[in-house]
């Protein structure tokens, strides 16, 4: 598959994933107090059910396209300390793997009925911080050098 196609697939999946994370952290968290605990449990449950349906496919496209794009940089990635680009790309990959671990944790807890509101908040804030850094690095690795 061409790099262009992989890049477009990766970008659309990233928009969907990052957009969802931004919505959950910046919108849902802001309505937590006015809505009340029980209403928020219902909202979080509904969002969680929808996310469990859509996000596995989004994650699959996001990571598959990302791996396909990273494969084209395999020579650079083999020597992460040689260039700032390689170092920043490795950091981006590490953050992405951490986001995947968060996602798997949330899906597992949710599937077992153990995803409490507190877990929901912590996971989303952590993933939010990760994706902000990933988006920054996605651009920075082409402009920052040392």
Nearest to 22, CA basis, from 130, 139, 145, 143: 130
Separation between Cα atoms, residue 141 and residue 144, nearest integer Å: 6
Q: What angle do CA 139, 26, 101 make, to 5 degrees?
A: 65
Spell out the per-residue pLDDT of the chain, length 146, in tens: 899 999 999 999 999 999 999 998 898 888 888 888 889 888 878 887 888 789 899 999 999 999 999 999 999 999 999 999 999 999 999 999 999 999 888 878 878 888 777 887 889 899 999 999 999 999 999 999 98
146 DSSP assignment: -
128, 22 Cβ separation under 8 angstroms: yes
Separation between Cα atoms, residue 131 and residue 128, nearest integer Å: 5
What residue spans of the chain are helical by DSSP H? Answer: 3-22, 32-35, 37-71, 74-77, 84-111, 117-143
Query: How long is the chain?
Result: 146
């Amino acid at each position: 598959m061409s790099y262009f196609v992989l890049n477009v697939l990766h970008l659309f999946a990233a928009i969907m994933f990052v957009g969802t994370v931004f919505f959950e952290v910046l919108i849902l968290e802001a309505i937590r107090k006015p809505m009340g605990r029980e209403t928020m449990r219902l909202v979080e449950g509904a969002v969680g059910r929808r996310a469990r349906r859509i996000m596995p496919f989004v994650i699959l496209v996001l990571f598959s396209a990302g791996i396909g794009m990273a494969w084209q940089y395999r020579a650079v990635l083999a020597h992460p300390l040689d260039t700032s680009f390689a170092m920043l790309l490795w950091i981006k990959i590490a953050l992405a793997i951490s986001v995947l671990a968060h996602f798997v944790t949330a899906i597992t807890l949710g599937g077992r009925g153990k995803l409490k509101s507190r877990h929901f908040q912590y996971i989303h804030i952590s993933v939010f911080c990760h994706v902000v850094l990933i988006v920054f690095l996605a651009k920075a690795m082409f402009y920052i050098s040392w």
